[in-house]
Amino acid sequence: MKPYYQDECVTIYHGDCREIMPTVTNGLVITDPPFNIDYHYLTYKDSLDTDEYYSLLKLACRCPSVVIHYPEYLFRLSWAIEEIPRKVIAWCYNSNMARQWRGIAWFGTAQPDFSGIKQEYKNKGDKRIQKLIAAGKKARIYDWWEINQVKNVSEDKTEHPCQMPSEIMRRIILSTPSEVIIDPFLGSGTTAYCAKKLNRKTIGIEIEEKYCEIAAKRCSQIEL
Same domain, 125 and 213: no
Same domain, 30 and 86: yes
Host domain of residue 131: 114-142
Q: Of 96, 36, 40, nearest to 70 (Cα)?
A: 36
Residue 12, number of CB atoms within 10 A of its CB: 24
What's the pLDDT at 7? 97
Domain count, the chain: 2
Same domain, 42 and 80: yes
Same domain, 171 and 192: yes
Mean per-residue pLDDT, 152-171: 85
Same domain, 101 and 188: yes
pLDDT level of residue 124 (50, 70, 90 thresholds): confident
Q: Of 103, 97, 63, 99, nearest to 83 (Cα)?
A: 63
Spell out the alpha helix ranges (H) of the chain: 17-20, 50-60, 71-81, 127-134, 166-175, 190-197, 209-220
Number of H helices, E strands in the chain: 7, 11
Same domain, 93 and 78: yes
Decide if pLDDT at 113 tops 80: yes
Decide if pLDDT at 156 tops 80: no
Decide if pLDDT at 153 tops 80: no
Same domain, 50 and 120: no
Decide if pLDDT at 207 tops 90: yes
Mean residue pLDDT of the chain comes to 93
**Contact predicate 15/204, CB 8 Å:** no
What's the pLDDT at 159? 81
What's the pLDDT at 152? 72
Same domain, 125 and 100: no
Residue 6, number of CB atoms within 10 A of its CB: 14
Same domain, 107 and 94: yes
What's the pLDDT at 96? 79
Same domain, 107 and 119: no
Mean per-residue pLDDT, 137-149: 91
> Is residue 190 packed enough to be buried (19+ CB in 10 Å), middle (13-18) or exposed (0-12)?
buried
- Higher pLDDT: 57 or 41? It is 57
Among the candidates 125, 142, 159, a domain finishes at 142
Same domain, 20 and 71: yes
What's the pLDDT at 41? 87
**Rounded Cα gap, residues 107 and 69, in angstroms:** 13
What's the pLDDT at 224? 72
CATH of the domain at 206: 3.40.50.150
Residue 158 carries which DSSP code? -
Same domain, 212 and 131: no
pLDDT digits (tens, 9 = 90+) for 43-100: 898 999 999 999 999 999 999 999 999 999 999 999 999 999 999 999 999 887 788 9
Residue 91, H or E segment: strand 87-92
Residue 165, number of CB atoms within 10 A of its CB: 20
